[in-house]
Amino acid sequence: MAALLEVNGLKKYFKSGSGMLHAVDDISFTLEAGKTLGVVGESGCGKTTLGRTILHLTDPTDGEIVFEGKDISNPTKNELKAMREEMQIIFQDPYSSLNPRMSVSTAIMEPLVLQGKLSKAEIRDEVKTLMDTVGIAKRFENAYPHELDGGRRQRIGIARALALKPKFIVCDEPVSALDVSIQAQIINLMLDLQEERGLAYMFVTHDLSVVKYISNDIMVMYLGQMVEKAPADELFTNTLHPYTKALLSAIPVPSIRNKKERIIMQGEITSPINPKPGCRFMARCPYAAEDCAAPQVLEEHSANHFVACCKYKTIKN
């Protein structure tokens, strides 16, 4: 099956006072229709920027984005417009991602109005259907965002993303601002929608238990680079990169008998501004050696399991 989305060597650098900030550095992956790619990493590792760059909310510095076989790395205005009907985003913070002066129905209507393909009556019907789909009661139609709780607000965000019937949605930590019981509702809603509509998700999060539950593949990012990528189960059972190991050891286990050994990382995160060519995790890695100062190559350890660490073979689990 041909990939829905193919990203090759995507880079996004920001100019900062003291040099170039490598927010996204040479990321490549493919995503098939109806599948979910989980992107995990700590705050500031560039996972959000990756999602925004793919959608051209910021322009990539370098690299190639291919969607349905079409190169959209440098889209024209019309291409961009068409592209955004296929690719949407659900934002992290449902409190700031909704215009406080737009009522629920106006907010959901907006993408359809801007698309300009449907008549007023059709739009009204479509808004009703969308509200129904994402589970917002009709009585909230004229409510304003501040009158709703976080879960309902995020449902509006989802309805807006769905309105244009996209094939691919970037989910930028869509549940991290919600409390746990609502997180589950929203994730289940998203999974249902995926099944119904064959959506592909790129699910950006720092919550590993969530990502395991919903992803087909998981990509682990560290300071803008992909350090490991594998099918979800494989990543959890056969962890290769020392950073992934440390990250996974931080998942809380709800048991007092089987205490897991935590890998506590020492040292500061390396600055993403003008990074050295070697492994960026080196400064905090317990297995760091001389070879690590050389650029790391992404190796395919087993089918579809990639790792960028020169020492992974010598590290025991």
User: Which residues make up the interface to other proteins (CB under 8 A)?
Assistant: 52, 55, 57, 80-81, 84-85, 88-89, 91-93, 96-101, 110-111, 114-115, 120, 144, 146-147, 157, 160, 163-164
| DSSP-assigned states of every residue in 239-290 | --SHHHHHHHHTS--S-SSSPPPP-PPPSPPPPSBS--SS-TTGGG-TT--G
Residue with tokens 């990528």: 229
- Of 105 and 215, CB closest to other proteins: 105
By DSSP bridging, strand 168-172 and strand 87-90 are: parallel
- Of 140 and 287, CB closest to other proteins: 140
Closest separation in Å from C-beta 256 to other proteins:
40
Closest separation in Å from C-beta 317 to other proteins:
40
Closest separation in Å from C-beta 88 to other proteins:
7
| 136-167 as b/e: b if 16+ CB within 10 A | beeebeebbbeebebbbbbbbbbbbbbbbebb
Phi and psi at residue 21, in whole multiples of 5°? -90, 115
- Of 99 and 238, CB closest to other proteins: 99
Q: Report the 10 Å Cβ neighbour count for 112.
A: 20
Closest separation in Å from C-beta 240 to other proteins:
35
Closest separation in Å from C-beta 183 to other proteins:
19
Compute the distance between CA of residue 129 and CA of residue 139 in angstroms, rounded to an integer: 14
**What's the alpha-carbon Rg for the chain, to the nearest Å?**
21
In DSSP terms, 22 is beta-bridged to: 13
Closest separation in Å from C-beta 132 to other proteins:
20
Compute the distance between CA of residue 63 and CA of residue 25 in angstroms, rounded to an integer: 10
- Of 102 and 315, CB closest to other proteins: 102
- Of 26 and 85, CB closest to other proteins: 85
209 exposure class (CB count in 10 Å sphere: 0-12, 13-18, 19+)? exposed
**Residues constituting the chain:** 317
- Of 120 and 276, CB closest to other proteins: 120
Closest separation in Å from C-beta 81 to other proteins:
5
- Of 26 and 79, CB closest to other proteins: 79
